[in-house]
């Protein structure tokens, strides 16, 4: 803020009052700046927390999609999916309405499929095939080349 030299009062008391007024305005401006810095830092930490939550939710959603649409999706119990959504989510809404993170459960693994019984089928060879030679689908003509 610039003040023209001809706008300054001639009276010493008026000049002092003007200087004190400018000091108060400067102190208020410094206080507003400090409050804005604190608010900016709080918003930055909230942004980082929400980015982490977003990453966790994307991972959780990808896991649920694999369970729902993957190879073993037909064997998934719908009640288990509902429990996963309700109990093990990384989010929790506190009493104040703020979104707070909980620790993500480690050790989540897909259920392994049941073990299949060993093969019991036998491959039968045609008459005349030697057991030491690989079995072919087409039999070559004998005697002609």
Note if the pTM is more than 0.95.
Answer: no
Q: Indicate the SS3 state at residue 100.
A: strand
Please, are residues 70 and 113 in contact by the beta-carbon 8 Å criterion? no
Tokens 């036998």 correspond to 122
Q: What is the pLDDT of residue 26?
A: 95
Residues of the chain under the 50 pLDDT cut: 87-88, 93, 97-104, 106
């Amino acid at each position: 803020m610039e003040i023209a030299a001809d706008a300054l009062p001639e009276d010493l008391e008026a000049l002092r009052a003007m200087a004190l007024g400018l000091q108060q305005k400067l102190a208020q401006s410094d206080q507003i700046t400090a409050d804005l810095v604190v608010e900016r830092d709080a918003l930055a930490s909230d942004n980082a927390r929400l980015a982490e939550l977003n990453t966790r939710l994307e991972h959780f959603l990808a896991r649920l999609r694999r369970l729902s649409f993957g190879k073993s999706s037909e064997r998934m119990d719908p009640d288990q999916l509902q429990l996963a959504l309700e109990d093990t989510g990384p989010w929790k809404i506190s009493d104040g309405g703020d979104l707070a993170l909980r620790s993500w459960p480690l050790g989540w693994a897909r259920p392994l499929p049941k073990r299949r019984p060993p093969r019991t089928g036998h491959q039968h060879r045609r008459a005349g095939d030697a057991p030491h030679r690989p079995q072919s689908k087409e039999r070559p003509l004998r005697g002609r080349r």
